[in-house]
Amino acid sequence: FWPIFKEQLCRRTFLSCTARAHAWCQEISRDRGSLLQLFGRLNRALQHEQVFADRFLPDAEAALALGRTCWEALVTPLVQSITSPDPHGVSPLAWLLSEYLESVEPPGHVASRDATFGSCVRRLTQLLVHVDPGGPEPEEARGAGERGAVKNKEVAARAAKAVVEKWSSLRGISQCWRGVVQQQVQRFLEAAGQVPDLVERYCGLYQRLRGATEQLFGPRATFVLALGQGFAGALLQLPFLTTLHVSEQFARYLDGRIQELHGAAGGAASPQRLQQLLEPFVLCSGLELAHTFEHFYRLYLGERLLAQGPSWLEGAAVEQLGPCFPSRSPQAMLRDLAESEELQQRFRLFQLQERDRRLLERG
């Protein structure tokens, strides 16, 4: 009885959720502002299915089947719809995320319309990326071995389909966030121009967008990667002369900050602080900008080594920035310097041994 009932229940749920998803998608396409209502609608729909499962279904296996069906029919098509660009090239979710970045307020501000708006956006994005339809159903997994290889393949195919759709939704949202970040960085670079504090503002923008990434999506590596790809995409669009200017400013800024860390007392020059300093610049990896950045960084590195000598700080900085150096010139400089110091030490030891030998011969 249960397999037939489960099939009919999932079919009913699928049809109901599909109809609701279609209606909501149509409404959002007509009015992007209605996207703010999506959290409440999704939350109520998912809670309704959960209450039904708790009251009438026999075990967790049944709830998993219902949850997966609800996800496939309701959440997946909604995500596909809100991440699809309109004729102007802007998707509803991209518009909403851009509005969020424009209106977000620092923590501790009193409640306002912007604060309420930001809360709605965060709840929606966190719901979309955290709801999980669950893994393979236990009963199906247990019965697969009993019913033979054919049934086992069917179960594996359904489980794989659920995983693919889950990651397809995440990928769509992360790609949308990547586009929003790239647009924000491009606007910043166009507006900043030749300002003296370009790099300080760039670092501030990175920290702001990094914080927004965590607020909207939590500590998910997928969205941190999308953040970096958005920055890289914007830097890749820079004209050649602007690329030269920006890369030189990057190297000059790091030169000043590393010298400050050299002179810092105690634990101020900690590896964690160095990592935070270099994080916005590792995004240059793989770009044309990396070649000019490496050139200027090598020049400033040479000046620091002549003035202050080698240190763990220089080695740690070059190691973290390693992907940004296509020719690996800074690594070669530090390696050659270390070899030179080793040869000098050996030569001094040889001189000492020769002196001892001559004294022994005279005595």
Average pLDDT, the chain: 83
With a pLDDT cut of 90, the percent of the chain lying above it is 49
Domain boundaries, the chain: 2-217, 238-354
Q: Residue 108 has what DSSP assignment?
A: T
Q: d(Cα 97, Cα 110) in Å, to the nearest integer?
A: 22
Tokens of 246: 């920006």
Contact 178, 229 (CB under 8 A): yes
Q: Are 229 and 283 in contact (CB under 8 A)?
A: no
Give residue-wise pLDDT tens across range 94-114: 999 999 998 875 554 545 567
pLDDT higher at 67 or 110: 67
- Under the banding of pLDDT at 50, 70 and 90, the label for residue 68 is confident
Query: pLDDT exceeding 70 applies to what percent of the chain?
Result: 81
Is the separation of the CB atoms in 176 and 91 below 8 Å?
A: yes
* Dist CA 136 CA 149 (whole Å): 16
Q: Transcribe 112-129 into DSSP letters.
A: -HHHHHHHHHHHHHHHHH
Find the mean pLDDT for residues 197-226: 94
CB 145 within 8 A of CB 152: yes
pLDDT at 145 over 50: no
Helices 312-320 and 289-308 meet at what angle, rounded to 10?
180
For the four alpha carbons of 142, 145, 151 and 155, in that order, the dihedral sign comes to: positive
Local confidence band at 152 (pLDDT 50, 70, 90 cut-offs): very low
14-23, 153-162, 221-230: least confidently modelled range: 153-162
- Rounded to whole angstroms, the Cα distance separating 182 from 165 reads 26
pLDDT above 50 (res 335): yes
Helices (H) and strands (E) in the chain, counts: 15, 0
Phi and psi, residue 111, nearest 5°: -60, 140
Residue ranges in 71-197 assigned as alpha helix (H)? 76-82, 92-103, 113-130, 138-147, 149-192
Question: pLDDT tier at 45 (50, 70, 90 boundaries)?
Answer: confident
Tokens of 162: 């659920």
Residues 6+ apart with CB under 8 A from 302: 333
